[in-house]
Amino acid sequence: MSSYLDMELLRFTTAGSVDDGKSTLIGRLLFDSKSIFEDQMDQVKKTSQKRGLDHTELALLTDGLRDEREQGITIDVAYRYFATPKRKFIIADTPGHIQYTRNMVTGASTANLAVILVDARNGVMEQTCRHSIIASLLQIPHVVVCVNKMDLVDYSEEAFDKVVEEYEAFAAKLDVKDIRFVPISALHGDNVVNRSKNMDWYEGPTLLNTLETIHIGSDENHIDCRFPVQTVIRPHSDEFHDYRGYAGRIAGGVYKPGDEVTVLPSGFQSKIKEITTFDGALEEAFAPMSVTLTLEDDIDVSRGDMIVRTNNQPDMEQDVEFMMCWLHNEPPRPRAKYIVRQTTNEARAMIKDIQYKMDINTLHRIEDDKSIEMNDIARVKIRTTKPLLTDPYRRNRHTGSLILIDEATNDTVAAGMII
């Protein structure tokens, strides 16, 4: 059996309209998969009784520690961790209101999968659309639509099919490759961890089963070799005085000793001599492994450079266009200078043009209003002081993303997906 540390990690986000049952679902997942401890459960039972409820409110498991629960609304991104014998999971639980778009973008930026909850009685709502648009914008590879509260529609197949149909019609406009649907009752536990006895007509897997088995290995780009150099390792000892290693995390592709590579931006060419990790030398390495490379030739390489295959290179540009989510409560200042951080590279940048804002509920362009506020999504163009080595975000989420930092305050003000 694989060790706990080696187990594959799946990161997913949860989103839904208010009261669709997000907290109940997470509680149910943790509870039925036995990922919570007895003492926590006792506490939840007691609190439920104190509040005069006749059932144990599983939402308290996930919300119990949040004081904003007292105001009945979830803000901020809460990361939760659980594991089953098959996989480890990190849940980014993000609030659904439009003023928390930035939280959603933050929570979703590294996710493999998005769980989108829909109340079976209400069907697809504005928030369902917005969350799905964000999932598509951030290229989350898998979306699982949980049609919840099936108990309130008599576990009816027609009710489920109606939501599926409605969602599919809307999702046709989006760029999501893998969409699945699971009819559930988070409250009663149907099809969350345990198969429902109330929905014989549903033959697909339960939600947990989907989370445990969905194939995420090929979510990484294994075609375009991209190795952003994080650190140059040059031991200061006579014994190793010739050694120069380049450490970093592979952002795309498969590397092997002997591969012909080019170092960007300099353009120097060489061959990979050796690939090593903590455990020794490797025959091959691929995204998202962290490795150290050595090259046959002694060439000048520094942090922020990228080692790529000679016949497959990224874009190298100073004018970069991307979809930007503005994260900060102060709007961009005219002519302000920002630091752009992209892979391990850093440059200074100025926003040159705001092309249009996007209505995040409908995907429509807003052409007549270009004022940017917190949570806005806009297509922008920046000019950087030195070339960035990029791929379209669609092609590679690592080399295709960037953040902007305000030079004066050091605050991260925007996240971007390169077009």
- List b or e across 365-374, with b for residues whose CB sees 16 or more CB atoms inside 10 angstroms: eeeeeeebee
Max Cα–Cα distance, the chain, nearest Å: 76
Please select the residue that binds ligand GTP; options are 185, 210, 390, 399, rule is CB under 6 A: 185
C-beta of 185 vs 221, nearer to ligand GTP: 185
For residues 418 and 379, what is the distance between their CA atoms, to the nearest angstrom? 9
Asked if 152 is part of the footprint of ligand GTP (rule: CB under 6 A), the reply reads: yes
Q: Judged by CB under 6 A, how many residues of this single chain contact ligand GTP?
A: 18
Which run of H or E residues covers position 271?
A: strand 268-277
Q: Which amino acid is residue 235, in one-letter code? A: P
For residues 285 and 252, what is the distance between their CA atoms, to the nearest angstrom? 10
Asked if 14 is part of the footprint of ligand GTP (rule: CB under 6 A), the reply reads: no
Least Å distance between CB 129 and ligand GTP? 16
x/- site string to ligand GTP, residues 359 to 398, per CB under 6 A? ----------------------------------------
x/- site string to ligand GTP, residues 24 to 43, per CB under 6 A? x-------------------
DSSP class of residue 185? B
Give which of 110, 197, 103 is closest to 150, Cα–Cα. 197
DSSP per-residue letters across 202-270: --S--HHHHHHH---GGGS--SS-EEE--EEE---SGGGTT--EEEEE--BSEE-TT-EEEEETTTEEE
Least Å distance between CB 372 and ligand GTP? 27
- Report 187-206 residues binding ligand GTP (CB under 6 A): 187
Q: In what order do the strands lie in the sheet with 113-119?
A: 78-83, 88-93, 9-16, 113-119, 142-148, 178-183
Least Å distance between CB 13 and ligand GTP? 13
Instruction: Characterize the bridge pairing of strands 268-277 and 306-309.
Output: unpaired
Asked if 169 is part of the footprint of ligand GTP (rule: CB under 6 A), the reply reads: no
Asked if 186 is part of the footprint of ligand GTP (rule: CB under 6 A), the reply reads: yes
Asked if 19 is part of the footprint of ligand GTP (rule: CB under 6 A), the reply reads: yes
Asked if 74 is part of the footprint of ligand GTP (rule: CB under 6 A), the reply reads: yes
Tokens matching residue 377? 């999504």
**Residue 143 near residue 113 (C-beta atoms within 8 A):** yes
Least Å distance between CB 314 and ligand GTP? 40
Least Å distance between CB 76 and ligand GTP? 12
C-beta of 134 vs 347, nearer to ligand GTP: 134
Asked if 151 is part of the footprint of ligand GTP (rule: CB under 6 A), the reply reads: yes
Asked if 16 is part of the footprint of ligand GTP (rule: CB under 6 A), the reply reads: yes
Least Å distance between CB 207 and ligand GTP? 12
Q: Which amino acid is residue 297, in one-letter code? A: D
C-beta of 25 vs 340, nearer to ligand GTP: 25
Stretch that binds ligand GTP, among 40-48, 147-155, 294-302, 406-414 (CB under 6 A): 147-155
Stretch that binds ligand GTP, among 17-25, 168-176, 251-259, 317-325 (CB under 6 A): 17-25
CB-based closest residue to ligand GTP: 21
104, 107, 282 from 100: Cα distances, Å = 6, 11, 43
Least Å distance between CB 120 and ligand GTP? 8
DSSP class of residue 103? H
Please select the residue that binds ligand GTP; options are 18, 98, 169, 223, rule is CB under 6 A: 18
For residues 277 and 260, what is the distance between their CA atoms, to the nearest angstrom? 20
Please select the residue that binds ligand GTP; options are 11, 15, 20, 388, rule is CB under 6 A: 20
Using CB under 6 A, list all residues that contact ligand GTP.
Answer: 16, 18-24, 59, 73-74, 148-149, 151-152, 185-187
